[in-house]
Amino acid sequence: MAYLQLLSYIAPEIYRPAAQLVISQGPTMWWSKLFALAPAAVLSFAAPSGFPASGNGLWYNTPGNLWSKTYLPVGNGFLGAMTPGGASVEITQLNIESLWSGGPFQDPAYNGGNKRPSEAPAAHKAMESIHASIFASSTGQIDNIEALTTDPGAYGSYASAGYLISTMNISGPVTGFARWLDMDEGVARVTWSQSSNYFTRETFCSHPSQACYHRIASSNATLPSTTFAFATLGSLLPTPKITCLDSRTLQVRGFASEPGMLYEILGKVQSTYGRVACTALSANNATISVTGATEAWIAWVGGTEYSMDAGNAKSNFSFRGADPHASLTSLLSPASSSYQDALVQHIADIKATLYSRFSLSLGQKPQLNIPTDQIRAAYQVDKGNPYLEWLTFNLGRYMLASSARGTLPANLQGKWAKDPAPWGADANINIQMNYWSAEMSNLDVTRPLFDYFEKTWAPRGAMTAQTLYNISRGWVAHNEVRIFGHTGMKGGTGAGNTALWANYPESAVWMMIHVWDHFDHTNDVAWWKAQGWPLLKGVASFQLDKLIPDLYFNDSTLVVAPCNSPEQSYITFGCAHAQQMIWQMFNAVEKGFKASGDTDIAFLNEVRSKRARMDKGLRIGRWGQLQEWKVDLDSPTDTHRHLSHLIGLYPGYAISSYDLGLQGGLIANRTNTTYTKSQVMDAAMVSLAHRGNGTGPDADAGWEKVWRAAAWAQFGNAPKFYHELTYTIYETFGPNLFSLYNPFDPDPLFQIDANLGFPAAVLNALLQAQDVPSFDIPLVITLLPALPAAWPSGQLKGARTRGGITVDLQWSNGKPTTVALAVDSNPISASRSVRVVFAGKIVGSFTTKPNFRTTIQRF
């Protein structure tokens, strides 16, 4: 609803797109209604002057009219902003990363969705009886886990921080209108002519200054009278106080909910020439106006009283920090001193973060004569368009760098939400997928993610381990964790069987793939000792105690119970997803033990012995599928969105690096899983094929397609990889290339995971280096494993693989022409054997000696 109200702010102007050339025909083109001059003409456009010559940007000839489909994102991780463009009026939607309703700010009794200590004995009894019922059941199932869940209480939502309204007192026809997102510079721009003046608007959020900027300028004349104001408009935020802090500074102070978390925004206006004045009309309405200037700009900063450092017992899990006013004041003063300096510093930061260490070419030819929405509208499944795919790849990395580098990680909206966001940070695929491309595309963005686990999951999660599971070491979190450490099982939602969402004690196990991968890619031993290893040890300790003997098959293995694949309905034991991931996590413990400096050999030995006994989650079922559950319950017509039991194919490695000696064999004379690698891979492929294309009766989201694309690339199947990749864009990506959860809704919801996962799927077709259970097993680096015919030539520079290796790869005519590999100066293991493979042939091999370099040119 909010956007409808917004539209009424936009003056009834006629937007006339920038046209270079008029050709006749085409009476019903979409823009003909907008085009006052020649309603029956087809235009050939040109990208606006200032649009990157590389083509690395998104551009449009009309202002955005729908937040999730046409607005353009800027952000610095701390703050986000969605820009519609606009001539005399631009209304930018704002976010502050920690602005969430709910939690202890809304309800002082909030406790992370956990059982009270007094309820713990009943929970432990319930857990015991659930175990017994599962093993006693003829099919190894129960129908609910309600006794373990807790009402979510003040669960809360990620909230919008309102809007910045920027106006100019001008009317009359707008000509030459264009707006674009320059992804080379991380700046959203608008240009147009009106009343014989040429205007530009510019919006960006700078990571170095932690501030956002909006500037309006005329190239050759005094600006009409210009105003800046903040307002909540249609958003559901309680009305804040909006005042003039001084003649050029606006202050917004309000609460995320009532009662709720305090937030503040400060915006300071500067101009070149002219006069700046602030007028307060009421307690909730103040405006800064600028007259007689040639340029005017506002720098704004925002924050809340949330503090991740207060999410522990010592702070009574209050998550409450200081009033943000003082720190915002000290940020604003340097941030608002020079626009030019801030812009230069911001562009340098974007280039250093996104492009100086990594680059990709898919052999794309920029289409500088067609606006992005038209390129998108013409896009077809399978046929594809390397330029649009390259843009989508770049947008994914741009959005990750623009949303992940605050104090909190990128949530399921990144940091962009106009309404109370329906999702926070689901941890059964979504937040994981957000970070899939980070290590390999050399983005330094994961620290806030790991801080988030350490400071918001682990402390409350230790309590959950105790009260729900009667486990007194380590910690556990479930699925929908949020920023207030919601670690319990979230019940009482009334959304079908609660277990589908709530019963997911493996969320942190999955995240340990990221923790291990960060170490394996960066060799950052100091980080590993201080943060990576303690996280891994905490999660592994809990899972060691949680594994129990399988009393259904009595095959002497250890299994998880109760488990269900994420969002799937059987509640059973020994789920493939959990078993594969826990096994991988135990391998990471062994691989990372030495570097950790930990001397707890008893822990390492326990991990080794339980790893040997545990069920490995790999079983071939009655229709040749890889079983999703230990009992063969799989249906061949199940096209569920998740590929949970294929976690070991991608992004994990329990399937794709399968080793019979470690994972298969005869178990206690009862179960025979003596499979070869090709049997396991074939079974995984049967399961993947039966899961469909990511449009089932249950869902049609982008992330499920991105996951399928990456999985097909893992099989080296280029046509199926490209089918899913192009289908992702075709089916679910909007004109602004945002991934839409319900793409056919008139006002669809944005979910960022497919945007951020897209680059990872692309990379998995170009370069693979799957993890292995131990450093003794060679690391295989596969070149162009699933290169689609649409990308015959290209280049990947600065890609990172595990083992601390940087890869520069060039290809043409579908084959590599040269690949250079460079080992870091400090690899974790200095004697790891590496094989470089193309088209099933080993084309090079080496060991990971420090600073080792090699170039391969024969394939």
Ligand X SMILES: *[C@@H]1O[C@H](CO)[C@@H](O)[C@H](O)[C@H]1NC(C)=O
Residues near ligand X (CB under 6 A): 108-109, 111, 124-125, 128, 169, 196-198, 220-221, 225, 231, 281, 285, 316-317, 381, 470, 551, 554, 666, 668-669, 672, 674, 692-693, 695, 727
Q: Which is nearer to ligand X, 522 or 693 (CB)?
A: 693
- Decide: helix, strand or coil at residue 432: helix
Residue the block writes with tokens 């290796």: 805
Which stretches does DSSP call E strand in 344-487? 359-361
**534 to each of 214, 258, 303, 474, 749, how far by Cα in Å?**
42, 37, 30, 10, 37
ω into 12 cis (within 30 of 0): no
Q: Which is nearer to ligand X, 39 or 121 (CB)?
A: 121
ω into 785 cis (within 30 of 0): no
| Residue 65 contacts residue 84 (beta carbons within 8 Å) | yes
Q: Which is nearer to ligand X, 609 or 674 (CB)?
A: 674
Q: Which is nearer to ligand X, 136 or 530 (CB)?
A: 136
Give the shortest CB-474-to-ligand X separation in angstroms: 14
Give the shortest CB-759-to-ligand X separation in angstroms: 21
Give the shortest CB-667-to-ligand X separation in angstroms: 9
| Residue 473 contacts residue 545 (beta carbons within 8 Å) | yes
Distance between CA atoms of 114 and 149, rounded to whole angstroms?
Answer: 8
| Residue 175 contacts residue 192 (beta carbons within 8 Å) | yes
The DSSP letter of residue 625 is P
Q: Which is nearer to ligand X, 89 or 780 (CB)?
A: 89
Give the shortest CB-232-to-ligand X separation in angstroms: 8
Q: Which is nearer to ligand X, 219 or 826 (CB)?
A: 219
Q: Which is nearer to ligand X, 125 or 849 (CB)?
A: 125
3-state secondary structure 73-138: EEECCCEEEEECCCCCEEEEEEEECCCECCHHHCCCCCCCCCCCHHHHHHHHHHHHHHHHHHHHCC
Give the shortest CB-842-to-ligand X separation in angstroms: 28
| Residue 722 contacts residue 788 (beta carbons within 8 Å) | yes
Report phi then psi at 159, rounded to 5.
-120, 155
Q: Which is nearer to ligand X, 349 or 724 (CB)?
A: 724
- Decide: helix, strand or coil at residue 657: coil
Q: Which is nearer to ligand X, 369 or 554 (CB)?
A: 554
Give the shortest CB-252-to-ligand X separation in angstroms: 11
Residue 300, classified by CB atoms within 10 Å of its CB into exposed (0-12), middle (13-18) or buried (19+), is: buried
Give the shortest CB-8-to-ligand X separation in angstroms: 10
Q: Which is nearer to ligand X, 660 or 837 (CB)?
A: 660
Instruction: Give the rounded distance of the alpha carbon of 145 from its chain centre.
Output: 30
Q: Which is nearer to ligand X, 40 or 666 (CB)?
A: 666
CA dihedral 81, 84, 87, 89 (to 10 degrees): -60
Q: Which is nearer to ligand X, 704 or 824 (CB)?
A: 704
Give the shortest CB-739-to-ligand X separation in angstroms: 16
**Among 584, 556, 711, 719, which Cα is nearest to 659's?**
584
Give the shortest CB-17-to-ligand X separation in angstroms: 17
Give the shortest CB-225-to-ligand X separation in angstroms: 4
Count other C-beta atoms under 10 Å from residue 601's C-beta.
9
Give the shortest CB-189-to-ligand X separation in angstroms: 17
**Among 557, 542, 567, 679, which Cα is nearest to 630's?**
557
Structure tokens at 248: 């050029």
CB neighbour list of residue 776: distance below 8 Å, 6 or more residues apart: none
692-724 as b/e: b if 16+ CB within 10 A: bbbbeeebbbbbbbbbbbbbbbbbbbbebbbbb
**Among 626, 519, 514, 607, which Cα is nearest to 565's?**
626
Length of the chain: 859
| Residue 478 contacts residue 507 (beta carbons within 8 Å) | yes
Q: Which is nearer to ligand X, 551 or 837 (CB)?
A: 551
Give the shortest CB-599-to-ligand X separation in angstroms: 25
Give the shortest CB-207-to-ligand X separation in angstroms: 29
Q: Which is nearer to ligand X, 352 or 789 (CB)?
A: 789
Q: Which is nearer to ligand X, 471 or 823 (CB)?
A: 471
Report CA Rg, the chain.
27
Residue by residue, DSSP assigns 538-557 as HHHHHHHHH-EE-TTT-SS-
Give the shortest CB-63-to-ligand X separation in angstroms: 19
Q: Which is nearer to ligand X, 126 or 837 (CB)?
A: 126
Give the shortest CB-445-to-ligand X separation in angstroms: 32
ω into 651 cis (within 30 of 0): yes
Measured at the CA of 402, the angle between CA 396 and CA 407, to 5 degrees, comes to: 125
Give the shortest CB-206-to-ligand X separation in angstroms: 26
Count other C-beta atoms under 10 Å from residue 600's C-beta.
12
Give the shortest CB-105-to-ligand X separation in angstroms: 12
Give the shortest CB-475-to-ligand X separation in angstroms: 16
Q: Which is nearer to ligand X, 10 or 588 (CB)?
A: 10
Q: Which is nearer to ligand X, 221 or 322 (CB)?
A: 221
Sheet hosting strand 853-856, strand order edge to edge: 359-361, 794-801, 805-812, 815-823, 853-856
Report phi then psi at 660, rounded to 5.
-55, -40
H or E segment and range at residue 226: strand 226-231
